[in-house]
């Protein structure tokens, strides 16, 4: 059993934006974290400009140090307070902390501070590589948005259809690149001399409108190019439709699950303080907006009221 620790529980609720007593503190922390993350992204982008780096390099380095200190304290607090998560599950505090550290959010939080320590331990490390890692701090905003998790879950739910669409896409790339290599390799050996070169052309033609750096000049090459462009429209549209449909289905499923849970909570037709907190917890769990959740609650209460009147 995990010992009761009021301060740890309070910090956990603030970090996870679940506190009702400390709603202002949680709101303030979320905004500070968001501003820190966005400022870091802007700083990394500006640092890549030689003129800006030469003039403001020291200021940017100091800001990065302050940011690492902020993110390090936040990371350590999240590890400490992770013992409060899922307390109903029979896991030790150490097990809960380890689960957080190995989770997606835990790895992202570690990634936010890792470049600083890598640069300290390995002074000769490529700065461009470190910038790429530092820009990943933008993923920290996923603490307050389930968009990535919802997208991954949606694709996983429709994985069979998604894999089939990817197979068709790969088939289109392979066939059209082989045909284009056969049609153009003698005329443009530098662009279509090998199948991998032709595959690059096929990928950019199917997935975009093409860069224009390689275009067919033979009659057969133009026919193959037209077929490639048309197949790209179909395959990419198919992938987009699958993802969009899966995402919409997941949102609708969350709404239905929320409605079912709230109907169970509001069996008596009235909302007391405890039930209001439960509904708020469910709203956050199912990633619904306050207006949407309130509309569902009002509809449930109205339906229950009408049912009671008819019963009388």
pLDDT tier, 42 (very low <50, low <70, confident <90, very high otherwise): very high
Lowest mean pLDDT among 28-37, 90-99, 163-172: 90-99
pLDDT tens per residue across span 64-119: 889 999 999 999 999 998 888 765 556 788 888 888 889 888 888 898 888 888 87
Could you give the angle at the alpha carbon of 114 between the alpha carbons of 108 and 118, nearest 5°?
A: 155
pLDDT tens for 229-252 read 888 888 888 888 888 888 888 878
pLDDT score recorded for residue 206: 86
Q: Residue 189 corresponds to which tokens in the numbers above?
A: 């050996």
* pLDDT band, residue 132 (cuts 50/70/90): confident
Q: Which of 133-147, 232-246, 262-276 has the highest mean predicted lDDT (pLDDT)?
A: 232-246
Between the CA of residue 306 and those of 79, 251, 256, 311, 312, what are the distances in Å? 49, 28, 21, 9, 10
* Tokens describing residue 15: 């970090």
First to last CA, the chain: 49
Report how far Cα 179 is from the mean position of its chain's Cα atoms: 38
Burial class, 235, CB count within 10 angstroms (exposed 0-12 / middle 13-18 / buried 19+): buried
Largest Cα–Cα distance of the chain, in whole Å?
A: 87
pTM reported for the whole predicted model: 0.68
Contacts for 290 with CB less than 8 Å, ≥ 6 apart: 283
Cβ neighbours, 10 Å, residue 56: 15
């Amino acid at each position: 059993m995990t010992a009761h620790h009021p301060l740890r529980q309070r910090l956990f609720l603030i970090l996870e934006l679940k506190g009702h007593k400390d709603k202002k503190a949680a709101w303030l922390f979320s905004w500070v974290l968001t501003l820190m993350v966005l400022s870091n992204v802007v700083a990394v982008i500006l640092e890549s400009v030689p003129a800006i780096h030469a003039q403001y390099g020291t200021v940017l380095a100091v800001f990065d140090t302050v940011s690492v200190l902020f993110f390090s304290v936040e990371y350590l607090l999240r590890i400490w307070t992770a013992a409060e998560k899922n307390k109903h599950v029979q896991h030790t505090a150490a097990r809960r902390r380890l689960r957080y550290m190995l989770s997606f959010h835990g790895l992202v939080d570690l990634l936010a501070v890792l470049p600083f320590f890598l640069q300290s331990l390995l002074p000769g490390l490529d700065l461009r590589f470190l910038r790429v890692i530092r820009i990943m701090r933008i993923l920290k905003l996923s603490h307050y948005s389930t968009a990535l998790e919802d997208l991954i879950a949606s694709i996983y739910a429709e994985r069979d259809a998604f894999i089939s669409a990817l197979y068709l896409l790969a088939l289109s790339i392979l066939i059209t690149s082989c045909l284009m290599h056969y049609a153009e390799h003698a005329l443009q050996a530098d662009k279509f001399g090998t199948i991998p070169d032709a595959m690059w052309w096929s990928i950019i033609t199917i997935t975009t409108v093409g860069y224009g750096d390689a275009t067919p000049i033979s009659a057969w090459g133009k026919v193959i190019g037209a077929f490639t462009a048309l197949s790209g429209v179909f395959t990419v549209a198919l992938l987009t439709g699958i993802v969009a449909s899966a995402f919409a289905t997941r949102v609708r499923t969350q709404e239905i699950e929320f409605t079912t849970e709230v109907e169970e909570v509001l069996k008596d037709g009235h909302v007391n303080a405890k039930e209001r907190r439960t509904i708020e917890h469910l709203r956050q769990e199912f990633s619904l907006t306050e207006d949407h959740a309130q509309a569902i609650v009002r509809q449930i209460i109205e339906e229950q009221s009408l049912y009671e009147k008819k019963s009388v």
